[in-house]
Amino acid sequence: MSNALLQTEARRLPVHERFYSWQGEGCHAGRAAFFIRLYGCPVQCPWCDSAGTWHPEFIPRNIERLPPDELLQEAIDSAAAFVVITGGEPAIHDLSALTDVIRDRGLRCHIETSGAFPLQGTFDWVTVSPKWQKLPLRENVRCANELKLIVEHETSIADWLAWLGDDLRADHVWLHPEWSQRQNRAVLDSINQTIKERGDPFRAGYQLHKLYQVDEQDPRSRPPAPLGGRIHLSRED
């Protein structure tokens, strides 16, 4: 195999889905965005809402692997202000070639990651959502533009603040109820109280795109797997 062909193959990434939508979370919520969701995640949270990227019962036999140019053509033709690379856990892949192409095409490049792996690529915006299943690298926490803390139970926020300590430097810290707990009064009250007692940088978060069902309007957006890949924990329960 020639060097050129080897380089082309190395640039291909395993794609779960790519679709045009708008960002439903964080500081850029409500803005048009093109999403690239990659396969693979060693973290595997039991309540993961993208378990189709890693759960064995939802991974197809043949996974589409695409080079950056092909991945981005539709984003270039859209009104998207930025491209979001997500997963799974996108940082397990070398994203350097993809981020180079995104920026060369005049688009901004965002990544959503657990922060547990070194970031390979150049990013305009980094969202770190730390997970207890595999804790983030301290350098990723410190460089994050925003943190997204998933509130699974009423002590989650205090637990994360204790672990983060002096590394809590992000200008925006979003407190998101874990989706299956979004009607749990104790979870919601812990978010309410933290924001009222501490103020900035803490902010109440939510997954607005789910309320609008905007992702599903692009036919390339794959049907969601149940939370954590577990049938009894659907997105609707």
Walking along the chain (237 residues) 10 residues at a time, the average pLDDT comes out as 48 95 98 98 96 95 92 90 97 97 95 98 98 98 98 98 97 97 98 98 97 94 92 59
32-38 and 82-86 as β-strands: parallel, antiparallel, unpaired?
Answer: parallel
The predicted pLDDT at position 143 comes to: 96
pLDDT at 230: 87
Q: What is the pLDDT of residue 5?
A: 39
The pLDDT assigned to 67 comes to 94
The pLDDT value recorded for residue 90 is: 98
Report, at the CATH architecture level, how domain 3-229 is classified.
Alpha-Beta Barrel (3.20)
- Residue 231: predicted pLDDT: 74
pLDDT value of residue 1? 44
* Count of alpha carbons within 13 angstroms of residue 130, beta-carbon side: 26
Q: Domain residue spans in the chain?
A: 3-229
> Token match 């599903």: residue?
216
pTM, full prediction: 0.94
pLDDT value of residue 233: 66
Among residues 120, 129, 125, 121, the alpha carbon closest in space to that of 49 is found at 129
The whole-number pLDDT of residue 8 equals 54
